[in-house]
Amino acid sequence: MTIYSSLSASVAGLNANAQRLAGISDNIANSSTYGYKRMETDFHSMVVNGGQLARGTYTAGGVTTTTSRLISTQGQIVGTSNPMDISVGGRGMLPVTDQSAVDAGGVLPLSLMRTGSFQPDNAGILTNSSGQVLMGWPLNPDGSLPAVTRDTSAALRPVDIAHNQSVPNPTTAINMGVNLPAFETLAGAAGDPLQLSVEYFGNLGQAETLTATFTPAVPATGSSNSWNMVITDSASGGASVAEYELTFNATNPGGGTLATVTDVTGGAYDPTTGAMPITVGGGDIAFNIGKIGAVDGMTQLSASFGPTNLSKNGSPVGNLIGVEIDPDGTVQAIYDTGFNRPIYQVPLVDVANPDGLISMSNQTYKVSMESGPMFLWNAGEGPTGETQGYSLEASTTDVAVELTNLIQTQRAYSSNAKVIQTVDEMLQETTNIKR
């Protein structure tokens, strides 16, 4: 009977609007939840028997609903004061795992997050307040990324800063530009050696000293424009680690610049870079005195002896004061000596259909058949956006829109209830016909 189909359709309408109300309530409740993606309820009509019976009567089919979470929608980026508050500017999601799995020491299940506020726990592992642990690839000591598989999370590890509290930063390069007095190579000069010492840092962070001794070649007549350079190392017991013969140009143009460098002992001088490798007590140092004909390296001018360009890398043993994340996902350990060391690479997980991911608690997601397989990208590469520290992604809920939808849903629910009431009255009238 058609009147009964009206009753069934209205009941379906009540259920559909109750379903929409549940999504609206979830959205409003999470309007201040960072990383929350709003729920959307879609209505679909149902048709019974093609909607047309042989006698020309219509049978109401009712309505059904589907709910979906709009995961691919980008929320507003909000600035914060925590360097490890991480958001993603574009596609891609952060890999995380459960803290309970880390504590158990077993298999680490992979979950995905759009944003998270991470702090080191009592074991030094970066964890957020809901117990999600940030995952990344551990980097080699030189900061390079080892060979990893990008279609699986097998190589990902919890980002642990406890093992990076104190590290040495050995010196690997020294640039020495010195002016040698031209008058010291004239006939009749005293020929006294000149010394310049440079501090460097060994593999254990200890301070050591390289001393360069410059001895002029004094000719019988004229000017030799030639010097002998001997480099001694305190880490080698003060022994000589390199010796070179230097000659300088006395013509115009190029007067006072390096003309030739002859190797006596030590690493070979490279005229294209101005560097020579020197083996000291703690390893090798690229010692640079400038290129042939350059004015920013060794010079011989009629001026006093002294450094003109002196620089080096390295620092004493540093204590960890914090960590930050770069736009490419590199986690940098920051030390009180001003030294930064890359320790982890946090990739971004991308899938073909982000809206097909399975929603879990605490704004986390799982890969599903609908989402498609995952791939791990370096942040900022491929389709993924960059990682942004000091920021979080706000909820995608627009409260004004949700309140408007709430009014519409309430009216629709009341209208369906009114139809049920009307059907009830009509059935009552039908019953009264017998009286």
Domains and CATH numbers, the chain: 2-70+397-432 (no CATH), 77-165+320-393 (no CATH), 171-313 (2.60.98.20)
Span 363-370, average pLDDT:
95
pLDDT at 51 over 60: no
Span 55-83, average pLDDT:
88
Span 292-318, average pLDDT:
89
Q: What percentage of residues in the chain have a pLDDT greater than 90?
A: 71
Give the pLDDT band of residue 54 (cuts 50, 70, 90). low
Mean pLDDT of the chain: 91
Q: How far apart are CA 149 and CA 331, in angstroms?
A: 19
So what's the pLDDT on residue 4?
A: 78
pLDDT tens digits along 256-296: 899 999 999 988 999 989 999 999 887 889 999 999 988 88
So what's the pLDDT on residue 23?
A: 95
Q: How far apart are CA 240 and CA 102, in angstroms?
A: 52
pLDDT tens digits along 371-421: 999 999 999 999 999 999 999 999 999 999 999 999 999 999 999 999 989
Q: Tell me the backbone φ, ψ of residue 127, rounded to 5 degrees.
A: -135, 150
Span 305-317, average pLDDT:
89
pLDDT at 52 over 80: no
Span 243-258, average pLDDT:
90
Span 342-353, average pLDDT:
96
**Backbone CA torsion sign across 78, 83, 89, 94:** negative
- What pTM was computed for the model? 0.77
Q: How many helices (H) and strands (E) does the chain have?
A: 3, 31
Cβ–Cβ < 8 Å for 194, 155? no
Q: Residue with structure tokens 């791990």?
A: 376
Give the pLDDT band of residue 435 (cuts 50, 70, 90). low
Comparing CA positions, the residue from 351, 347, 360, 325 lying closest to residue 111 is 360
Give the pLDDT band of residue 217 (cuts 50, 70, 90). very high
Span 91-100, average pLDDT:
96
Comparing CA positions, the residue from 18, 26, 135, 38 lying closest to residue 395 is 38
